[in-house]
Amino acid sequence: MAYRVKEIFYTLQGEGAQAGRPAVFCRFSGCNLWSGRPEDRATAKCRFCDTDFVGADAGVFATAEELAQTVAATFPVLDPQAYGGRKPYIVFTGGEPALQLTRELIDRLHALGFELGVESNGTLPLPEGLDWITVSPKGSNPLATTSGHELKLVWPQQGCSPEDFEDLDFRHFLLQPCDDPRNKANTRECIAYCLLHPRWSLGLQTHKWVGVR
């Protein structure tokens, strides 16, 4: 299959339990919950997305090998000593990466020595072999991926509440304030909820604070 990629870039992970970790992000084009076009937002299954995933600005890659080599070349340093015993980290995101991510690409990047994470809306099955799975539910859309390493709920949002997900098999449960005009009020609500429901931790978009992508 050909892989359509919006962007590939090196930065710090800004969200979740891996926040602050250097990583290359591979953002796939396309999503199954929204076209990405403003005129379609009112009818989208996800209405608060803040990401541009339309187009293949980073390229269309004919093979897993071609994309793997391009992602690997984005790292400014690959010397194992620089990583202090851990592996260089790649995050697949979107859009919805499950539309394009394949086991072939995962295996090729593992063979090159990378640790692999994914950020998914959870509505589609993910290929096996990923090292870190983040699921971010969107409204009442049913989940196909019900276990992983962290569940990140943007809140408040219509169609779901934190209680809907507490029986799922995740290591971390993160409540992230919705970044809309009510952001300050949303943050207060998330803090109050976490204080009363200690299973949940407050999730913040730290990359927006420090001015990185």
For the record, the structure tokens of 128 come out as 């096996």
Share of residues in the chain with pLDDT > 70 (%):
100
> Is the pTM above the cut of 0.85?
yes
Average pLDDT along the chain: 96
**Residue 163's CB: how many other CB atoms inside 10 A?**
8
Q: What is the pLDDT of residue 177?
A: 97
Residue 19, pLDDT > 80, answer: yes
133-173 pLDDT, tens per residue? 999 999 999 999 999 999 999 999 999 999 999 999 999 99
Find the mean pLDDT for residues 83-87.
96
Contact 72, 7 (CB under 8 A): no
Question: Of 9, 11, 40, 51, which is the active-site residue?
Answer: 51
Span 26-43, average pLDDT: 91
The reply to whether 11 belongs to the active site is: no
pLDDT, residue 195, reads 99
Give the active site residue among 49, 178, 190, 194. 49
> Distance between alpha carbon 75 and the CA centroid of its chain, in Å?
19
> Residue ranges per domain, the chain?
3-150
Given 25, 165, 170, 173, the catalytic residue: 25
40 included as an active-site residue: no
Q: What is the pLDDT of residue 207?
A: 87
CATH architecture of the domain with range 3-150: Alpha-Beta Barrel (3.20)
Res. 69 pLDDT band, cuts 50 70 90: very high
Catalytic residue list contains 31: yes
